Amino acid sequence: MKKKLVLVVDDSAFMRKMIADIINSSSYLEVIDTARNGKDALQKVVDLKPDVITLDVEMPLMDGISTLQEIMKKAPTPVVMLSSLTKSGADKTIEAMTYGAIDFIAKPSGSISLNIKDIESEIVQKVEHASQANYKLTLNSAPSIKKNSYKPISSNQPIVAIGSSTGGPRALQQVITKLPIDFQSPVVIVQHMPKGFTKSLAERLNKLSDVTVKEVEDGDLIENGKVYLAPGGNQFRVKEINSQLYAEVKQEQPINGHQPSVDVLFESVANVNHCHPIAVILTGMGSDGSNGMLHLKKRHPRTIAISQSKETCVVYGMPQAAEKTSLVDYVEDIDNISEVLVQKIPKKR
Active site (annotated) includes residue 25: no
Active site (annotated) includes residue 165: yes
The single-letter code of the amino acid at 285 is M
Smallest CA-to-CA distance from 10 within 37, 50, 40, 47 is with 37
Residue 264 DSSP one-character state:
H
Catalytic residue among 103, 209, 288, 309: 288
Residues with Cβ < 8 Å from 129, sequence gap 6 or more? 102, 103, 166, 285, 315
Active site (annotated) includes residue 192: yes
Cα dist from 125 to 138, 192, 295, whole Å: 25, 15, 30
First-residue to last-residue Cα distance in the chain: 61
Q: What is the DSSP string of 179-214?
A: S-TT--S-EEEEE---TTHHHHHHHHHHHH-SSEEE
Pair 24, 16: CB distance under 8 Å: no
In the chain, what are the helix, strand and coil shares in percent, each to the nearest 5? 35, 25, 40
Catalytic residue among 33, 84, 192, 209: 192
Catalytic residue among 26, 83, 131, 165: 165
Which residues are catalytically annotated? Answer: 165, 192, 288
